[in-house]
Amino acid sequence: MFTTSRHDLGPNFTFGTATAAYQIEGGQTDGRGSAIWDTFAKTPGNVKQAHDGTTATDHYNRWPEDLDLIRDGGFEAYRFSLAWPRLIPNGTGEINQAGLDFYDRLIDGMLERGLKPFATLYHWDLPSALQDKGGWMNRDIAGWFADYAALVARHYGDRLHATATINEPWCVAWLSHFLGVHAPGYRDVRAAARAMHHVLFAHGTAIDALRSEGAKNLGIVLNLEKSEPLTDKPEDVSAASLGDAIFNRWYLGGVFKGQYPEELTAILAPFLPEGYERDMETVSRPLDWLGINYYTRGLYKADPSRALIPIGQEKGPLEKSDLGWEIYPQGLEDLLVRVSREYTKLPLYITETGMSETDDTRRVKFYDDHLQAVARAQKQGADVRGFFAWSLLDNYEWAEGYQSRFGIVEVDYETQKRTPKGTYRAFQGMLHNTR
Ligand code: IFM
């Protein structure tokens, strides 16, 4: 059980659970086009046990049961993503009617159960046909993405409670094009610099397209970390500052100030698209809310052996999840206060937090402590309006495959049976108790 009561978060606070299409849907035969994760996963060495999303949790067929679980848990909202290649198999052009029908059923299913649909347009399943044209490295993606956004707004806009353009642009750009950990698996600074800018430029063009179709309540979801130095030596403090620029300030600064951090543009200048400064007005289009995904902190030290980006990371001494991520609720409180003081007064939503763990009692404590951190941040002026648990179900954890379990509901991948964990019951107890 949680020690937190829902009143600790204020009267109009929204609780939900979050998922993403590729991680749960499966059902890839019904006219859906290929996505970059399909082939990345098949390439040896990229994903543990070469797991892919072919079946995942079979949400494509089992969605009614999954929506029932969300409602019965006492949650009011469901954050889900639409698969671009399910709607437009080649990324541009022809539309897949079966895909349109699927999200019609899913969104209507949420509304029938009294759940607010929080949609994400892009949660990493880029159509392979667009990757063939350079994907996020190609400036044209701003137009392709805007057209896809307009389709979603035209078809579903009046039924969506909120829409986010991109989930975690740091992952789309840096993790996938510099570190090579996620699809398309590039390790190339020019590719990364281009993706870093184009992902935010495309976010801005999509906001324009959504607004011109009449869509309301628009945002973006950033993954943020508390970037800290390993020691108080000046070189480690500078390393943490550069880490913060790459992870946090590039996105917060771009979206809310129309400016990238100078300490990073100084390094990336030769690799950024020429004239990128002219796009900054589009990058920083006004929004209605900001989603923050928070999992852990980054602990940085100077590493002069890395010439271009001379920083390294260490594992700290705090308790860890089974992926080795330090558990640090204080970091969430600090980040929320920082974002609301330095970047925006918009309503904030914790659009994801959670832990990969088989010992569910640890997960209950994780959530309880992070809810308390949110309540403390609210008292310091952060306008936090909602909290989404990552994730409703155990699911496809990208390069970690199916071994890693973030769900508040367990999935048996042999039978696809869903079994609520203690964490689900803890949320249910808190959310049903209105005292
Ligand atoms: O599973 C992911 C999700 O897709 C995006 N945010 C982080 C989660 C845990 O790694």
| Gap from CA of 36 to ligand 1 centroid (Å) | 17
Atom of ligand 1 nearest to the CA of 398: 1
Q: Residue 88 has which token pair?
A: 């437009």
Does 384 fall in a domain? Answer: yes
H or E stretch covering 313: strand 311-313
Neighbour count for residue 2 (Cβ, 10 Å):
20
Q: What is the pLDDT of residue 26?
A: 98
Among 47, 175, 391, name the best residue to mutate to test ligand 1's pocket (greatest count of ligand atoms within 8 A of Cβ). 391
Residue 388: inside a domain: yes
Task: List, in order, residues 6 or more apart from 193 with CB less than 8 Å away.
Answer: 268, 271, 272, 273
Number of alpha carbons in the 13 Å side-chain half-sphere of residue 121: 33
Query: Residue 219 has which token pair?
Result: 């945002």
Q: Which residue has the tokens 């992952």?
A: 171
Q: Residue 292 and residue 353: Cα distance in Å, rounded?
A: 9
Domain of residue 192, CATH code:
3.20.20.80
Q: Is residue 1 part of a domain?
A: no
Q: Report the Cα 240 to chain-centroid distance in Å.
A: 23
Burial of 303 (0-12, 13-18, 19+ CB in 10 A): middle
Atom of ligand 1 nearest to the CA of 293: 6
CB 3 within 8 A of CB 336: no
Domain assignment present for 163 = yes
- The CB density around residue 181, as the number of other CB atoms within 10 Å, is 14
**Mutational pocket test of ligand 1: of 168, 222, 323, the residue with most ligand atoms within 8 Å of the beta carbon:** 168
Supply 156's token pair: 């579903």
Nearest CA to ligand 1 atom 4: 20
Q: Which residues are catalytic?
A: 168, 352
Task: Say how many Å lie between the CA of residue 167 and the centre of ligand 1.
Answer: 9
Best residue among 397, 400, 408 to mutate for probing ligand 1's pocket (most ligand atoms within 8 Å of CB) is 397
Centre of ligand 1 to C-alpha 77, Å, is 18
Number of the ligand 1 atom closest to the C-alpha atom of 323? 10
Looking at the domain assignment, is residue 363 inside a domain?
yes
3-state secondary structure of 291: strand
Q: Per-residue pLDDT for the chain (435 aa), expressed as one digit of tens each?
A: 999 999 999 999 999 999 999 999 999 989 999 999 999 999 999 999 999 999 999 999 999 999 999 999 999 999 999 999 999 999 999 999 999 999 999 999 999 999 999 999 999 999 999 999 999 999 999 999 999 999 999 999 999 999 999 999 999 999 999 999 999 999 999 999 999 999 999 999 999 999 999 999 999 999 999 999 999 999 999 999 999 999 999 999 999 999 999 999 999 999 999 999 999 999 999 999 999 999 999 999 999 999 999 999 999 999 999 999 999 999 999 999 999 999 999 999 999 999 999 999 999 999 999 999 999 999 999 999 999 999 999 999 999 999 999 999 999 999 999 999 999 999 999 999 865
Its pTM stands at: 0.98
Which atom of ligand 1 lies closest to the CA of 400?
10
Rounded to the nearest whole angstrom, what is the distance from the C-alpha of residue 168 to the centroid of ligand 1?
9
Q: For residue 425, what are the domain limits?
A: 6-431
* CB neighbours of residue 157 within 10 Å: 17
Show the ligand 1 pocket: residues with CB < 6 angstroms: 20, 23, 168, 293, 352, 390, 397, 406
DSSP single-letter state for residue 173: I
- Cα angle: 339, vertex 343, 344; to 5 degrees: 90
Secondary structure letter of residue 404 according to DSSP: S
Interval between CA 397 and ligand 1 midpoint (Å)? 7
pLDDT of residue 435: 55
Closest-CA residue to 318 (of 332, 303, 330, 308): 330
Number of folded domains that form the chain: 1
Ligand 1 midpoint to CA 371 (Å): 19
Probe target for ligand 1 pocket from 293, 321, 349, with the most ligand atoms within 8 Å of CB? 293
CA 223 to ligand 1: nearest atom: 6
Of residues 159, 191, 157, the one with CA closest to residue 176: 191
Give domain status of residue 187, yes or no: yes
Q: How many angstroms separate the alpha carbon of residue 431 from the centre of ligand 1?
A: 24
